[in-house]
Amino acid sequence: MTFIALDDEPLALVLIERLAREAPDWQLLRTFTDAAAAAEYLGRNTVDLLITDINMPDISGLEFVRQLPDERPLVIFLTAYKDHALEGFELDVVDYLVKPVAPARFQRALAKAGEWLRLREPAPAGPAPEDHFFVFSEYQEIRITTADIRYIEGMGDYVKIHLAGSPRPVVTLGRLKHMADRLRDHGFQRIHRSYLINLARVDAKQKSRVRIGEDWLPVGETYAAALHKVWED
């Protein structure tokens, strides 16, 4: 598992490098004092975890994370200030560490991030059609019947599975990309960076949106051609 660190204080990065040596399951790829350089690196490389400060001169760590795309790495905040904790957790971060952080506390945060990564890994694809699968939600494993899925909505590190006959979606830890990979051969199509639909559930379609039941969902420009090709075939 890999991570990068962003902090405008070089000494803080030296400490992170030292603590990273005590985490054999993790590889620290790069450290950055400049947010723009970190964003450029994330745009070109796949990284599992970002550890970032909050109070930085050019941009706050909170705003930096908000500007990352949906398919962003997991995030741990490491800051000298406690007063941003609630705002940080509203961004679905893994953990919020306050400087100076104890080595054991840092290792627990990495262990938690590792567990999140394992939970959101896609299940291996089987040779037969997958008519159901289980997801962990609200402290229980819930059976999801594939044919009952209307659409799946991505929310960063979580997905909302909207089911026929259910007034509330099932919310579970996971990435929309992994759901798309899992269900690609079972009649599902990505139509937007935030939506994966069951094609059999589409009731109406227009050039830039589709309707499933009463819900109109947008079709992103980058997904439109592939979607229309599926319908033409």
Q: Is residue 125 part of a domain?
A: no
**CA pair distance 93, 4, nearest whole angstrom:** 15
**CA pair distance 60, 48, nearest whole angstrom:** 21
Output the pTM of the full model: 0.56
Q: Is residue 148 part of a domain?
A: yes
Q: Residue 57, preceding bond cis, omega within 30 degrees? A: no
Q: Is residue 45 part of a domain?
A: yes
Residue 76 structural domain: 2-120
Structure tokens at 85: 């904790």
Co-location of 139 and 176 in the same domain: yes
Contact status, residue 75 vs residue 91, Cβ threshold 8 Å? yes
Contact status, residue 40 vs residue 4, Cβ threshold 8 Å? no
Q: Give the SS3 label for residue 22.
A: coil
The pLDDT tens digits for 156-212 are: 778 999 999 999 999 998 888 889 988 988 999 999 989 999 999 999 998 899 999
Task: Identify the bridge partners of residue 210 per DSSP, sorted by sequence position.
Answer: 205, 217
Co-location of 108 and 163 in the same domain: no
Contact status, residue 157 vs residue 116, Cβ threshold 8 Å? yes
Chain centroid offset of residue 27 CA: 20
The pLDDT tens digits for 110-149 are: 998 988 887 666 555 444 446 888 888 887 888 999 999 9
